[in-house]
Structure 1
Amino acid sequence: MKVIFVCLGNICRSPMAEAMFYQLLVTNHLTDQVSVSSRATSSEEEGNRPHPGTRQILEEHHLDDRGHRSTPIKRQDFYDADLIIGMDAMNMRHLRTIAPKGEQDKVRAINDLTPGHQGEPIPDPWYTLRFDDTYNSLKRSLPYWLDYVKERLD
């Protein structure tokens, strides 16, 4: 199974989600069955490393960004992935607009499965500089995505 997290620039939220989800996969011995990556809806940051705020949070929590570089989402990603998770309404609109016909059901919002938080975005810390809030929001939502993925592996 292949999971892709997506945000605007792929330097804040989605690489943080990727690193956190990868650690969940490692902890649950699923790296041989599930791959995770992240992408951008914009090409503005293409090739750039994660934002310093993201790198700091990952370091504080002993998470590896695995040499991440910002990469825009491409049409082929929709065919290759099993699950594409956007961070906010703007990401979701963009993803649904560019998703090929028949592949739109793979696109989901980050809090779709989070009880009491469905429909809530994860605000972009590039603007807010609240990287701890981003980490905590992802920490709350990602275990539900792990359960979702595990159910589909059985």
Structure 2
Amino acid sequence: MKQIHVLFVCLGNICRSPMAEAVFRHLVHERGLDQQIMTDSAGTGDWHIGKQPHEGTRGILDTYQISYEGMKARQFSDHDFNGFDYIVCMDNNNLRDVKNIPGSQQHSHMIRFMDLLPEENEENVPDPYYTGNFEEVYRLVSTGCVRLLDQIQHSA
């Protein structure tokens, strides 16, 4: 398998996308794919650059013993189109914002996270920064990350 790079994108890069990054990285490690699959996260906004994940995200990851060590918020950049094979946006607004950045038209694996979970009644991963429901977001993220990793492994 060639090395694959996956980027999760949300609004501020402190709740949903770092949760997805940590969960996905944990799954990759469990499957022994650390050398083949790299992951990161970014936000479309710049409000939280350099900050660690939100306390609610850290709390839920601690509950499930998933590391978020070294994770700091950063903003999405047009350079990410060249550095990542998969760009996974947590909601329709994030996807729209990323698609509005010059260079996005050449990127073939840009998806909305909830497309991994067609049985759910949500188009978007709810933002727990506003809802406070980190457990629900973890449920969606953990299921979707398994499916994404399965897809990547099957297409390799």
**How high is the TM-score relative to the length of structure 2?**
0.93
Q: 1:152 to 1:96 in 2, by over 3 A?
A: same
Structure 2 gap ranges (5+): none
Structure 2 letter corresponding to 1:4? L
Give yes or no for the alignment of 1:139 onto 2:149: no
Specify which of 111, 116, 133 is matched with residue 130 of structure 1.
Answer: 133
Which amino acid is 1:40 matched to?
A: G
Aligned residue number for residue 9 of structure 1: 12
- Of residues 90-99 and 122-131 in structure 1, the stretch that sits farther from structure 2 once superposed is 90-99
2:34 is aligned with 1:25: no
2:114 maps to which of 111, 116, 119: 111
The structural deviation recorded for 1:41 is: 0.4
Give the Å deviation of 1:76.
0.7
- Aligned-residue offset at 1:84: 0.3
Alpha-carbon shift at residue 105 of structure 1 (Å): 2.2
Taking the TM superposition and a 5 Å limit, the aligned residue runs for 1:74-113 are 74-113=77-116
1:139 shift after superposition: 1.5
What CA distance in whole angstroms lies between the structure 2 residues aligned with 1:105 and 1:60?
35
Shift of 1:49: 0.8
Q: How far did 1:15 drift?
A: 0.4
Which residues of structure 1 form unaligned runs of 5+? Answer: none
Partner residue in 2 for 1:42: 45
Structure 2 SS opposite 1:56: helix
Give how far 1:102 is off. Answer: 4.1
Check 1:108–1:118 CA distance in 2 against 1; reply closer, same or farther (3 A cut). farther
Q: CA separation in 1, counterparts of 2:82 and 2:131? A: 33
State how far apart, in whole Å, the 1-side matches of 2:105 and 2:94 are.
19
Structure 1 position 104, deviation (Å): 3.5
Q: What letter corresponds to residue 69 of structure 2 in structure 1? A: R
| 1:15-47 CA distance string (max 9 Å, x none) | 000000001101111111000000000011111
- Give, in whole Å, the separation in 1 of the partners of 2:39 and 2:121: 22
User: Post-superposition shift, 1:118?
Assistant: 7.8
Normalised by the length of structure 1, the TM-score is: 0.94
Counterpart Cα distance in 1 of 2:148 and 2:90: 13
Aligned residues: 153
Secondary structure, in 3 states, of the residue corresponding to 1:111? Answer: helix
